[in-house]
Amino acid sequence: MTNQYHMQIITIDGPAASGKSSVARIVAQRRGAIYVNTGNMYRAMTWAVLQTGIDPNDQEAVRQAAAGITIDSPVVDGQTQVSIKGRVLTQEDLNSDPVNRGVSLVARVSEVRDRLVADQRALAALGPLVMEGRDIGSVVFPDSPLKFYIDASEEVRASRRRAQGHTDQVAERDRLDSTRKTSPLVIPEGAIVIDNSLLTLEQAVEAVLNRLP
């Protein structure tokens, strides 16, 4: 991957419910870039694994099932979608409680991460991107000069999840994401950290835009 590609990629990382997805989507719109939610790629893989009846806690079973699952990322209205065997997955599919509970378990499987990281890097050929997730600035595009890490307190993030009607525990997802062996959630080297606990969405967006060249 050339530095030319890296210069076109804004990376936004952070824990669950930090607000990074909402911020990244608007930043992409205002910069004329394609928005990529990499979390949806892991959610799509989790959804597909669950369709086979496999327990996400069974890493070997997940590894074997994932080997036969291909996720496509068509661009629609300026952002990538996730599609499996021609079916574009809906937000209802991707944000169901079983997927919420299982996504960190599936994402910890190194073969899953290796495949999806390769898929994410390939998206750089589409042009300027705003890509958000948990290891974008640290693993997927570590050479990007435009890195951000959006955080918020555990209490605020848990409250946001409840307001969205979800029952997953952000503390447990934080633990799984931060302690997995492959691509753990970290603040990428050189990233600008934004505490989004008390900011409005517009303030958080401006905090990113004001730091971009």
Confidence of residue 2 (pLDDT cuts 50, 70, 90): very low
Give percent above pLDDT 90 in the chain.
82
pLDDT of residue 7: 62
pLDDT of residue 82: 98
pTM of the entire predicted model: 0.90
pLDDT of residue 1: 44
Residue 213 forms part of a structural domain: no
CATH code, domain with 203: 3.40.50.300
Domain region containing 81? 7-208
153: which 2 tokens? 């307190």
Confidence of residue 201 (pLDDT cuts 50, 70, 90): very high
What's the whole-number average pLDDT of the chain?
93
Residue 66 forms part of a structural domain: yes
Residue 1 forms part of a structural domain: no
Which uninterrupted H or E stretch holds 114?
A: helix 110-122
Total domains present in the chain: 1
Residue 161 forms part of a structural domain: yes
State the Cα–Cα distance between residues 121 and 24, nearest whole angstrom: 17
Edge-to-edge strands of the sheet including 192-195? 75-76, 79-80, 34-37, 129-133, 9-13, 146-151, 192-195
Could you report the per-residue pLDDT of 33-89, keeping only the tens digit for each? 999 999 999 999 999 999 999 999 999 999 999 999 999 999 999 999 999 999 999
Could you report the per-residue pLDDT of 89-148, keeping only the tens digit for each? 999 999 999 999 999 999 999 999 999 999 999 999 999 999 999 999 999 999 999 999
Distances in Å between the Cα of 40 and the Cα atoms of 1, 14, 21, 36, 72 are 23, 14, 10, 9, 11
Residue 126 forms part of a structural domain: yes
Residue 48 forms part of a structural domain: yes
pLDDT of residue 139: 96
pLDDT of residue 187: 96
Q: DSSP character for 90?
A: P
Residue 2 forms part of a structural domain: no
127, 83 contact by CB (below 8 A): no
Task: Tell me which residue of 126, 65, 71, 123 sits closest to 94, measured CA to CA.
Answer: 71
The sign of the dihedral angle between the CA atoms of 80, 117, 189, 198 is: positive
